[in-house]
Amino acid sequence: MQRNQTDNRNLDPLVELQSPFVARIREAIAHRRFEMPQIPHYEGHSDPMIHMQLYRGLMEVRGASEDVMCKFFPLTLGGTSLKWFNKLKPSSIQNFPQMCREFITRFRGARPLERKPNVLRDIKQGESETLKEYVERFHKEVINLGAYDEENTLEDFIRNIRIC
């Protein structure tokens, strides 16, 4: 008899876990052919916007409703982000847009700082760097910038080539 009481006490923390979702989301059912997409767990150390965009896109092409997207979202979390999710107040998440806002707001500090286009002005060909190595390094920086002005980028590139 005493062993059963001990076993029940060990389960108490699991029983006490309450969902942060409202009843409508908790009761949402995915369609019969639904397959959960395989995406890396978000650990809280990278851009939350990228994780959310990837997740939403993969769920939308599978025909998931916003309620199903909410319900399955915790399966994509790990580490710090899962701890955050498990500490949300019961029934505090009403819909998918709200969950997105709360997630992105909580982990926005993990987003990389916006890089300014003028960063390209400082990328100079090194003393022992070949032209090919310089082109590859410069190109990586341009890609990391995202949007850029082609004319200014070309000027920065040419200006910083080492003349032998």
Judge contact between 156 and 137, C-beta under 8 A: no
> Looking at residue 10, what is its pLDDT?
52
Q: Give the model confidence (pLDDT) of 27-44 as tens digits.
A: 999 999 999 999 999 999
| pLDDT single digits (tens) 125-144 | 888 999 899 889 888 888 87
pLDDT of residue 6: 47
The average pLDDT across 33-58 equals 93
Structure tokens belonging to residue 103: 């997630």
| SS3 per-residue string spanning the chain | CHHHHHHHHHHHHHHHCCCCECHHHHCCCCCCCCCCCCCCCECCCCCHHHHHHHHHHHHHHCCCCHHHHHHHHHHHECHHHHHHHHCCCCCCECCHHHHHHHHHHHHHHHCCCCCCHHHHHHCCCCCCCCHHHHHHHHHHHHHHHCCCCHHHHHHHHHHCCCCC
pLDDT digits (tens, 9 = 90+) for 61-96: 999 999 999 999 999 999 999 999 999 999 999 999
State pLDDT tens for residues 94-130. Answer: 999 999 999 999 998 877 656 566 778 888 888 899 9
**How high does pLDDT run on average in the chain?**
85
Going by pLDDT thresholds of 50, 70 and 90, the confidence category of residue 1 is: very low
User: pLDDT tier at 17 (50, 70, 90 boundaries)?
Assistant: low
